[in-house]
Amino acid sequence: MKIWYGYGSEHSMNLVMIGQFRAVDDAIKAKEAIDEITKQVDADVDAKLMIIGEPSNRYTDNMLKLLGRLQIHSIGPTELEQFAYDVKVKVDDDRVIMTTDEVDVSAFLKILLDSGARVEVYSAHEYSDTKYGRGK
């Protein structure tokens, strides 16, 4: 279970991000990259190498190796905290669908774009009639 780490009133963003890919395999690969980074962030938090709420300007050794292996070079160390937030990610055919109440999603956006996706981002509060909206 993920914990909401946000501060302030933006916690109810109800954000939907959809990455549309040319092929199903590309969507699966992007989701797997997100899962691997999330797992490493969880491990870094558990090992007290990363403290939520105190973004670091440095990567952990294991994170740096992982990002190199995944060939992801656009995510900064201060953005990695986003992977500790409550974000639901699933693959639907050739799309990666992400939903969250957080507003800081730049790291996810970068992965989708770097993986070749066309990306749509919207508030499900305003567009609850969409397939992925969660209502007003």
State pTM to two decimals.
0.87
Q: What is the mean pLDDT of residues 44-62?
A: 94
Q: What is the pLDDT of residue 62?
A: 97
In-domain check, residue 115: yes
At 132, the pLDDT band (50, 70, 90 cuts) reads confident
Burial of 49 (0-12, 13-18, 19+ CB in 10 A): middle
The answer on pLDDT for 129 being more than 80 is: no
The answer on pLDDT for 33 being more than 70 is: yes
Provide the residue range defining the domain that includes 51: 10-123
Element counts in the chain: helices (H) and strands (E):
3, 4
Give how many domains the chain has, as a whole number.
Answer: 1
In-domain check, residue 135: no
